[in-house]
Structure 1
Amino acid sequence: MGDILIVDDERDIRELIGDILEDEGFATRLAGNSNEAMAEVNTEPPALMILDIWLKDSKMDGIDILKTVKRDNPDIPVVIISGHGNIEIAVAAIKQGAYDFIEKPFNIDQLLVVIRRAMETSRLRRENQKLKRKDATAAEMVGESAAFRTLVGQLDKVTKSNGRVMLSGPAGSGKEVAARYIHAHSGRASAPFVTVNCAGVAPETMEEVLFGRETPDRGVEPGLLEQAHGGVIYFDEVADMPSGTQSKILRVLVDQQFTRVGGADKVRVDLRVISSTNRDLAVEIETGRFRQELYHRLNVVPIAVPSLEERREDIPLLARYFIAQCNKTQGLPMRALSDDAVALMQTMVWPGNVRQLKNLVERVLILGDGSGEIEARELPQDSGPASAEEGRVVLSGTLATLPLREAREAFEREYLLTQINRFGGNISRTASFVGMERSALHRKLKSLGVVTSAKGGARIAQLEDEVEEAG
């Protein structure tokens, strides 16, 4: 709860207030002049200050102290007390940021009420700021790849509208981060962002969770839709929403109102709806698991969130971002990434996408020795190319059975595919890394049947002459 700093030049008064507050369960500190008061504040900012406006034998009076404290520690609520109170002093104190003004001799009950209200207001303000910082972090988009820039460009276009957005992409790719980005940059940024975990709520309780309920014993219990009023409701993995609930959500989208479970009154809501899915909803509709009408209501603006495979060049940026976040939120060591660790990360398989990368970084920081750069040897070997003794490469079963010429071509093809995808389809950077002239790399890719795409990355293609020879 924190402690209360009592500043008064009269020893009897500050000790009396201190004793009363300690009897009420508060921790207190005492100061008799401005020097003592500022020393206490600078040592450890209190949760609240009770400050006498007239301080004998002090360099600063109460108004001066108030100005200084509110300048350096604006979140500390200050209650001014004075035996010479008048309306001008009260107004001056409030203008300088005081929470309230109480005139001596004061009523103890009145003082306690003011203190409790001030501390509750301060607590709520801190929690609100903490949530805003959390939301801002959760909405932070990190990347520089072409696929990432395309995504952010699409998100920016929808931030200023109220259009419903459907985010599609594999699990762990960052669909919720994209949804929070839309909210954070919209006109509803100061309103709630409420997530509905469609896969995590039991079907039999989904309607109570969404719509709330009314019972004689407990009265009105608002649901998530009501809590999101004025802001954004985010349906995470909407394909998992029970079919019975789908029809009711469809009605909410049409009418912008609903009835609580067990209630009779209509509840009106103003919501922006963002949904996400890692499934093909066309297939879900065809099999009868998802309502086509609801799909058309939700899928006003479809946006695809790329997998980590499609944005490999962002892996170093993301990894460094997660290292900084783990350091900030968990106190884990702030370590740099070695070049060999970056290279290995960019060639690893990431079925869990950005979420898997975040978990890997956290695991390495927890289990590592906490000093120096993160080396490739610290990364899990089950997610990347297998290695044997130092300087040796383990051949896959298929590669080991091929003649040398075919094995060399297969290796070169896979190696160059990996490097091109690692550099987001950038031929110049790939050529520089592998140590080839750009024109020579183009000829090599053509001979191996590797084609690059306009979106970045590469794939194996059947060359026309190979097809003709096969025919």
Structure 2
Amino acid sequence: MSDILIVDDERDIRELISDILKDEGFATRLAGNSDEAMSAINTEAPALMILDIWLKDSRMDGIDILKSVKRDNPDVPVVIISGHGNIEIAVAAIKQGAYDFIEKPFNIDQLLVVIRRAMETSRLRRENQSLRRQDTGPTQMIGSSTAYKGLISHLDKVTKSNGRVMLTGPAGSGKELAARYIHANSNRASAPFITVNCAGVAPDRMEEVLFGRESVARGVEPGLLEQAHGGVIYFDEVADMPLGTQSKILRVLVDQQFTRVGGNDKVRVDLRVISSTNRDLEQAIAAETFRQELFHRLNVVPIAVPSLEDRREDIPVLAAHFIEDFNSSQGLPKREISDEAQALLQTMVWPGNVRQLKNLIERVLILGDGTGPIEARELPGTEDTDSGEEGRVVLSGALATLPLREAREAFEREYLLTQINRFGGNISRTANFVGMERSALHRKLKSLGVVTSAKAGARVAHVDDEVQD
């Protein structure tokens, strides 16, 4: 956008304004009625529009054209001019989104000041939007486990469609990253990705945040739905959306339009909707805190994001990725991870999932006193396990009270459970690591009551209850 569209039914006026603007270095286009104006806008949106309120022999007056422009091209500033100026017209124009109002006969210097100010505002707004579209957050997915590959397979299948996706999984597992991956690999990648933090917005402000507002004092303030036009609106933790707002969002999904708070005109939007939750929405429906109709609209393509426990094989590569990221973004030491530390990370409990792993790595890099490999003793929870005698293993209280045979079985069972889950249920890799033949490992597992079962696209091990009892 680099030109100014001048719309006036008086030829002398529009040509006069055009000549003045050309002398100042602006390019211009001219329109004498509403049809010519709309045709020019639809061909290419201008950088700015100078619009006469009263257009003789036109299907639309200036206010109608203004409404259409602000609906379909909200970033185009519109300066209203009129020879019949009064406060009511000015208020109506500003309320519909006009940048300013100038009464005929206008002062040339005043007109140029308003135009330059409006052009600068438009330029800054476009730059801000461009930066916001570029700053879409990380989209790179990391991993090689069976569970990870299954997730990527599902995500890739939905990237090129406009189908609504519902991402489910525990907190910190990477649901927003999965949503951004879908967006980055879709046909809408250059359009906005707007996140709605349903749990972080006060219920009494949710509709204003989503739909925007109109007021005489502040004009038109677009909401998040309007900002996401052409791109993706991501409802993070959608179960926390207020019940009253849910019915209005349902209507937006059906009609692809809405009304701003305090306004009367319909705003049309083209959106792809992605939602996420770590809660059971069917239970929320039963408890009448979530609308069943909205659930069916949002849950067109359900995709489960696995927990870190279900993809323990990915922990070393995720940790290495976070180290690289913290080095480039914060200048923290770029350290390797020792084999012992990797093994320990893979056996730890991760209730916070990938987010918890990332926070742990950052903590170790900040508090660490060296640049060499990260050792197991540096990891949280291991500070007090060193007995002071190299090579000595400290027994847990429960294990120390058992007879040797039972203690050995308990240790072997726990050890093999840990290793199988560490290697994602891969018996061959587990056997190779523990130094056993595959057939011998199978016999040992059977004798200890350890069985493998399918879970989240991977194989996990657990103790047979009958044997344990």
Distance in 2, Cα, partners of 1:461 & 1:335:
37
Deviations 1:191-248 (A, max 9, x none): 0000000111111111111111111111111110000000000000011111111111
| Equivalent runs, 1:128-277 vs 2, <5 Å | 128=130, 132=134, 134-135=135-136, 138-277=138-277
Which one-letter code corresponds to 1:360 in the other structure?
L
Q: Which residue of 1 aligns with 2:30?
A: none
Between the aligned residues of both structures, percent identity stands at 74
Alignment of 1:305 onto 2:305:
yes
Shift of 1:125: 6.5
Distance in 2, Cα, partners of 1:329 & 1:126:
22
Q: Which residue of 2 aligns with 1:459?
A: 461
Deviations 1:48-68 (A, max 9, x none): xxxxxxxxxxxxxxxxxxxxx
| 3-state DSSP of counterpart to 2:183 | helix
Distance in 1, Cα, partners of 2:374 & 2:392:
22
Distance in 1, Cα, partners of 2:304 & 2:361:
25
Which one-letter code corresponds to 2:355 in the other structure?
R
| 3-state DSSP of counterpart to 2:194 | strand
Which one-letter code corresponds to 1:443 in the other structure?
R
Alignment of 1:341 onto 2:341:
yes
Q: Which residue of 1 aligns with 2:353?
A: 353
Q: Which residue of 2 aligns with 1:329?
A: 329
| 3-state DSSP of counterpart to 1:381 | coil
Shift of 1:328: 1.1
Tell me if the contact between 2:183 and 2:189 (Cα under 8 Å) persists in the aligned partners: yes
Unaligned runs of 5+ in 2: 1-111
Change in CA separation of 1:457 and 1:404 when aligned onto 2, cut-off 3 Å: farther
Change in CA separation of 1:386 and 1:276 when aligned onto 2, cut-off 3 Å: farther
Number of corresponding residues = 352
Q: Which residue of 2 aligns with 1:421?
A: 421
Distance in 2, Cα, partners of 1:385 & 1:154:
43
Tell me if the contact between 2:133 and 2:193 (Cα under 8 Å) persists in the aligned partners: no
Shift of 1:319: 0.6
Change in CA separation of 1:285 and 1:399 when aligned onto 2, cut-off 3 Å: farther
Q: Which residue of 2 aligns with 1:368?
A: 368
| 3-state DSSP of counterpart to 2:274 | strand
Change in CA separation of 1:121 and 1:217 when aligned onto 2, cut-off 3 Å: closer
Please, what TM-score do these two structures have when normalized by structure 2? 0.70
Change in CA separation of 1:347 and 1:208 when aligned onto 2, cut-off 3 Å: same
Distance in 2, Cα, partners of 1:173 & 1:160:
24
Change in CA separation of 1:173 and 1:388 when aligned onto 2, cut-off 3 Å: farther
Unaligned runs of 5+ in 1: 1-109
Shift of 1:400: 3.4
Which one-letter code corresponds to 1:178 in the other structure?
A
Distance in 1, Cα, partners of 2:211 & 2:143:
38
Tell me if the contact between 1:421 and 1:456 (Cα under 8 Å) persists in the aligned partners: no
Distance in 1, Cα, partners of 2:187 & 2:226:
19
Distance in 2, Cα, partners of 1:138 & 1:449:
43
Shift of 1:405: 2.0
Change in CA separation of 1:381 and 1:447 when aligned onto 2, cut-off 3 Å: same
Which one-letter code corresponds to 2:224 in the other structure?
L
Deviations 1:24-51 (A, max 9, x none): xxxxxxxxxxxxxxxxxxxxxxxxxxxx
Tell me if the contact between 1:139 and 1:181 (Cα under 8 Å) persists in the aligned partners: yes
Change in CA separation of 1:289 and 1:352 when aligned onto 2, cut-off 3 Å: same
Distance in 1, Cα, partners of 2:377 & 2:129:
41
Distance in 2, Cα, partners of 1:411 & 1:426:
20
Distance in 2, Cα, partners of 1:249 & 1:126:
27
Please, what TM-score do these two structures have when normalized by structure 1? 0.70
| 3-state DSSP of counterpart to 2:458 | coil
Shift of 1:140: 0.5
Shift of 1:396: 3.6
Shift of 1:139: 0.7
Tell me if the contact between 1:386 and 1:393 (Cα under 8 Å) persists in the aligned partners: no
Which one-letter code corresponds to 1:437 in the other structure?
E
| Equivalent runs, 1:393-408 vs 2, <5 Å | 393-408=393-408
Tell me if the contact between 2:425 and 2:461 (Cα under 8 Å) persists in the aligned partners: no
Deviations 1:346-375 (A, max 9, x none): 111111100011111111111112411111
Tell me if the contact between 2:341 and 2:374 (Cα under 8 Å) persists in the aligned partners: yes
Tell me if the contact between 1:348 and 1:385 (Cα under 8 Å) persists in the aligned partners: no
Shift of 1:288: 1.1
Distance in 2, Cα, partners of 1:351 & 1:401:
30
| Equivalent runs, 1:26-65 vs 2, <5 Å | none
Which one-letter code corresponds to 1:278 in the other structure?
N
Q: Which residue of 2 aligns with 1:294?
A: 294
- CA RMSD of superposed structures (Å): 2.8
